[in-house]
Structure 1
Amino acid sequence: MKYKILCSDLDGTLLSTKSDVSDFTISEIQRIKDRLRIILVSARMPRAMTYLQRHLGIEDQPMVCYNGALVLNGGQQVSSTEIPMALLSKISDLASRHFIKLGLYHHNEWYVEENTERVRKEIRYTQTTPLFRPTSESLADWEKRGIGPHKIMLMGTKSTADAIFPVLTEKWGTELNLYRSNDTLIEIAPKTVSKLTAIQLLLQEGETMADVISFGDNYNDMEMLRHSGLGVAVGNARDEVKAIADHVTLPNTEDGVASFIKQHLVF
């Protein structure tokens, strides 16, 4: 197999634990990184990805953050797409009525109101720390600075998430990407971007998506896998992702990405 670019999702895919890559994965990325560009593609914020780049020895490589809403290359911003503040204000009001808390993200900024168990898990898993302040203060601050969120996280219970998700879809499904990351969490991102559109921005002259091998596990990886020269699902991926993938490798906890690389990317 001859490819020029390897793109991989992080959580549930490249990461063998909740927060890091294995020694096996590090060694395989080190083996191929001079032959292929290695691009990490995630819903995470930049500083929740840079430590993984450092562990893998690919700090000079681009990365796709917030499912494509922010694209960085060598620390330089390639693309930034924010959710309009008018929409954020409406979503905040709706979430408040459903007793759902917000996590607000812009570049390397992360704001939450309370130090809940969900937030503490995020801190452990991503090795990042938020600033605690009322959502109203974050909205006022961003309005003053003329910026908006790259991602909004809604944090509730299963019942509150079940209740609000169809309302969000009906009101703003044509304007925003709404993604149920688990029973209690809803991620919101700009509609005009995706992991695929971000990767396409990073293609160099003469390159196409046929030159890309990509790895993923979840719904927000499907477009990327479907349009890559080779799309690989890990063994723990959702059934819908496996169905559209060209190949299914081992689960992330068994180093599925590294195992595929060792077996198939031989130079």
Structure 2
Amino acid sequence: MKYKILCSDLDGTLLSSKSDVSKFAIEQMNKIKDNTKIILVSARMPSGMYYIQESLGITDQPIICYNGALVLAGNTEITSVFIPINILIEIHKLCEGLEADMGLYYKNEWYVPKTSLRVEKEIKYTKSVPVFQDTQNTLNDWNQRSIGAHKIMLMCIKNSADIVMPVLQEKLGHALNLYRSNDTLIEIAPKTVSKLSAIKLLLEAHELLTDIIAFGDNYNDLEMLENVGCGIAVANAREEVKAISNGITLENTADGVAHYIAKKLVN
């Protein structure tokens, strides 16, 4: 079957390295992009996605950032849903006394209280640079500007993450998507958005979810892969993701998405 749209997650999926799309992936995307829309779908901020769009030659296509909280088509904002300031203040209070730093994201703004190994990795891999300032100062500024966070990256030591995660789920689980991506990192997003909800916003009148093939690896890809026409997991994906997928391709480090395109989608 021919698909009108290809949606792909980036980290752990399309990207064969931590930061760049491979030459092979660029070659395969070039073979289908004239007849297939290619939409990048990620937890990243826009600046961490633009350079990948440019590498693939698809800057004319929209991007889904922050797991669907921000959707952009060029300079046009399709949707923007952020965590309100009162909830940010509550999270900040819940982290008091713990070793937990709030990385706060709004559009192309990124604020962290101090540098760390995690922050340096994020700078390297996403080619984006944060503003270093005290979290309370960021919250005061955002309160005056009446804005909130498209994403929070809560960077902890394991013990602090163990303590704060269940508290966040109990007190704020009704308003937030809380995702513990590893022992020390909790990613937080608005409850009302997802990769799938963002994809639905971009469908034109003649397009259906069944017209989409999508690739992913992690829990935040589950809903997308389950509901499109064909959901493909990379071999390094979570077992739960592989279980609901229509197929499994090679690991991201072996260019799984590009190999699937070459084998199944290129005439």
Q: Taking structure 2 as the reference length, what is the TM-score of the superposition?
A: 0.99
Instruction: Give the Å deviation of 1:117.
Output: 1.0
Q: Which residue in the other structure is 1:183 paired with?
A: 183
In structure 2, what is the equivalent of residue 2 of structure 1?
2
The aligned residue for residue 13 of structure 1 is 13
Q: Secondary structure at the match of 2:179?
A: strand
Matched, 1:57 2:80: no
Distance 1:254 1:215 in 2: 14
2:155 aligned partner? 155
Quote the Cα distance in structure 1 between the aligned partners of 2:150 and 2:187: 11
Return the offset for 1:42: 0.3
Please list, as runs of the form range in 1=range in 2, the aligned pairs for 1:216-227 lying within 5 A after superposition.
216-227=216-227
1:266: Cα distance to partner? Answer: 2.6
The residue that corresponds to 1:196 in the other structure is 196
Mapping of residues 68-147 of structure 1, within 5 Å: 68-147=68-147
- The equivalent of 2:169 in structure 1 is 169
| SS of 2:103 mapped into structure 1 | strand
Asked whether the 8 Å contact 1:95–1:154 carries over to 2, the reply is no
> What amino acid maps onto 1:95 in structure 2?
C
SS at match of 1:189: strand
Measure, in 2, the Cα distance between the counterparts of 1:142 and 1:174: 23
- In structure 2, the partner of 1:215 is 215
Deviations 1:105-144 (A, max 9, x none): 0000000011111100100010000000000110011111
Q: Provide the rounded CA distance (Å) in 2 between the counterparts of 1:190 and 1:117.
A: 26
Ranges in structure 2 where 5+ consecutive residues have no aligned partner? none
* Distance in 1 between residues matched to 2:202 and 2:67, nearest whole Å: 14
Counterpart CA distance in 1 for 2:167 and 2:109 is 27
Compute the displacement of 1:183 (Å).
Answer: 1.2
Give secondary structure in 2 for the equivalent of 1:61: coil
User: Aligned to 1:96, what secondary structure does the other structure show?
Assistant: coil
2:61 aligned partner, one-letter code: Q
Q: How far 1:98 sits from its partner (Å)?
A: 2.0
Unpaired runs of 5+ residues, structure 1, are: none
C-alpha displacement of 1:103: 0.2
| Deviation sequence 1:22-48 (CA, Å, 0-9, x none) | 100010111110010000000000000
**In structure 1, distance between residues paired with 2:210 and 2:194:** 18
Tell me, in whole angstroms, the C-alpha distance in 2 between the residues paired with 1:236 and 1:142: 38
1:265 aligns with 2:255: no
C-alpha root-mean-square deviation of aligned residues, in Å?
A: 0.7
Residue 31 of structure 2 aligns with which residue? 31
Query: Which one-letter code corresponds to 1:177 in the other structure?
Result: N
CA distance in 1, matches of 2:139, 2:47: 22
- 2:93 maps to a residue whose letter is D
SS in structure 1 opposite 2:20? coil
Aligned pair count reads 267
Contact 1:111 1:133 in 2 (8 A): yes
Corresponding residue for 2:256? 256
Q: Percent identity?
A: 60
Are the equivalent residues in 1 in contact too, given 2:99–2:157 (CA < 8 A)?
no
Counterpart CA distance in 1 for 2:111 and 2:241 is 31
Q: Give the TM-score, by structure 1 length.
A: 0.99
Q: Is the 8 A contact 2:39 2:62 kept in 1?
A: yes
SS of the aligned residue for 1:40 comes to: strand
Amino acid at match of 1:161: A
